[in-house]
Amino acid sequence: MSVALFFLAQLAIPLFGLPIARHPEIRALSPAARCSALFGAGALFLTLFGLILSLYRIPWTVASFLLLLVAVTLLARRWPASPGVMLRPRQALEVSRRVRIAFVIVILAALGYLAFFTLTGRAVSPDFAFIWGLKGIRFAEHGGIDPSFLSWPYAVHTHVNYPPLFTTTLAWSAMIAGDMPWMAAPLVSAIWIAATIPLLVDLFRRAVSDRIALAASAFWTAAICISLVATTATATAEAPLLHYGAVGCAALLVRTREDRPDLLALLALTGLLMTKLEGAILFVSLLAGAILASLLLRRLRLRAFLPMILVPLLPLAVWWLYEFLNRIPMTDPAREKALAIRFDYIATIARTEIAGLDAGTFGLSWVIPLLLIAVFFRSWRRLLPALAGAAGMWLFLTVYFLHATGDPSVLIGWTFPRLMQSALSLVIVAAVVAPGRESPAAVL
């Protein structure tokens, strides 16, 4: 029973996305993509509501969350009524039966693969027991973010300063279920990945033909599901990070209006910041790439970028305020010392990093999109957000490994394959968008 309630609560997360449901950009999406967008936005609003309730020491209950949801939905009911930002009318997918069947087969096989290895325990990260699940159940039982636990000196191994998005979604479900279903809860990762697919299809359709959008989304799903299993990364914040990273990157790459911010990109960038610290690397490098691309293409509009830079910082500022007021360490004492760099590690780092790009497919998941990017490299300026995002993550990790104490290969083996999944995801998104629209004589 508690397992069913736990997953019902997860599936109710899109309800918390209601405040943006009437926004023209959301209404322009297909029904499936709209549900996906509301899921991602819902997790964000849920986290923000949880933070506000905890800030005012109001206990987390279904009623307190719903009260905030109703209030914010009422406040947000007046989005611009004109279809000024309607991107294009919703149209049914124009693809052959063969493409649809192939898409469904790959999606079901990939998600089934992920679910099988998650439920049988082979893909579940130990961090679920050490960090995410632990904080989730403690927050659920405390009825809010637990400042006494997070400020306790013997809880620093739980990365107490990490923003609380994934933990809050777990705590919400555990609160409804009355417990943490330790064996089944890791399946939430599959929900996050499944929720990414319809959005990717919709976003890709703005840049390439429907059939490529479907086929490439299937490839993204297969590569990411396999990688999550190979890196034993389910039940951690990797899946939300992959969701927000892929959606944010795709939204930035296919922006059709240069004079205003893109809501999906803005929400995804906020999600990156609120999921875990590594999300900040993607946030900075994706935006840096997008701004650079706009500069090179001579169409930079600060009016479009400023909200996408500043708005995501607001929820993060609320989290920092909460940390500050409750004396929760704002840095991670368990981390390596900054600027204590060991350049003699470079050879080990290079060797171990290459091995870490296996992604469960002998590196094929990387090679295929990289080859396609190479073929269509003339469009590199447009791809800069994705390329900068992927390169930024790699650069950050490499510099981080130069700070390792002791043999860096242990640290690399543990963190690199997991975190480079976000880079892999961005490389795939870039490869999809790279060719642009095809001729009508396409095959399949």
Partner 1 sequence: MPIRPYLARIWISAALLLLAVSSAKIVTTRRVPPLSLPVTPLERVHFEWSEQWRFLEEARPLVPPGSTYTVRAAGGDSEMSLFMLSLNLFRDHLPIPSSYYRQPLPDRGNSARFVLSFHCLPLDDPIATLVARLERGCVHQRAGVAP
Residues that bind partner 1 (CB under 8 A): 99, 102-103, 106, 109-110, 113, 117, 119-122, 124-126, 128-130, 133-134, 137-138, 141, 154-155, 157, 182-183, 186, 208-209, 211-212, 214-216, 218-219, 221-223, 226, 229-230, 232, 235, 334, 360-362, 364-365, 368, 372, 375, 432, 435, 438-439, 441-444
At 55, the amino acid letter reads: L
Least distance CB 318 / partner 1 (angstroms) = 26
Least distance CB 136 / partner 1 (angstroms) = 10
- Are the beta carbons of 415 and 349 closer than 8 angstroms? no
Nearer to partner 1, 84 or 153 (CB): 153
Least distance CB 194 / partner 1 (angstroms) = 16
Least distance CB 188 / partner 1 (angstroms) = 13
End-to-end CA separation in angstroms for the chain: 45
C-alpha distances out from residue 288 to 158, 291, 293, 304, Å:
30, 5, 9, 14
Alpha-carbon span 23 to 281, nearest angstrom: 28
Alpha-carbon span 197 to 267, nearest angstrom: 16
Radius of gyration (C-alpha) of the chain in whole angstroms: 21
Q: Where are the alpha helices (DSSP H) in 311-363?
A: 313-325, 346-355
Kindly give the interhelix angle for 408-433 and 384-401, rounded to the nearest 10 degrees: 180
Nearer to partner 1, 43 or 223 (CB): 223
Residue 277, CA atoms < 13 Å, CB-side half-sphere: 12
At 114, the amino acid letter reads: L
Residue 56 backbone dihedrals phi, psi, to 5 degrees: -95, 10
Q: With 0-12 CB in 10 A as exposed, 13-18 as middle and 19+ as buried, what is 356?
A: buried
Least distance CB 98 / partner 1 (angstroms) = 9
Alpha-carbon span 245 to 289, nearest angstrom: 14
- Are the beta carbons of 215 and 232 closer than 8 angstroms? no
Nearer to partner 1, 79 or 376 (CB): 376
Least distance CB 435 / partner 1 (angstroms) = 6
Least distance CB 116 / partner 1 (angstroms) = 8
Alpha-carbon span 424 to 365, nearest angstrom: 8
Nearer to partner 1, 38 or 124 (CB): 124
Nearer to partner 1, 124 or 274 (CB): 124
Residue 179, CA atoms < 13 Å, CB-side half-sphere: 8
Least distance CB 369 / partner 1 (angstroms) = 9
Nearer to partner 1, 266 or 433 (CB): 433
Nearer to partner 1, 111 or 349 (CB): 111
Nearer to partner 1, 347 or 443 (CB): 443
Least distance CB 395 / partner 1 (angstroms) = 26
Alpha-carbon span 274 to 251, nearest angstrom: 18
Nearer to partner 1, 80 or 436 (CB): 436
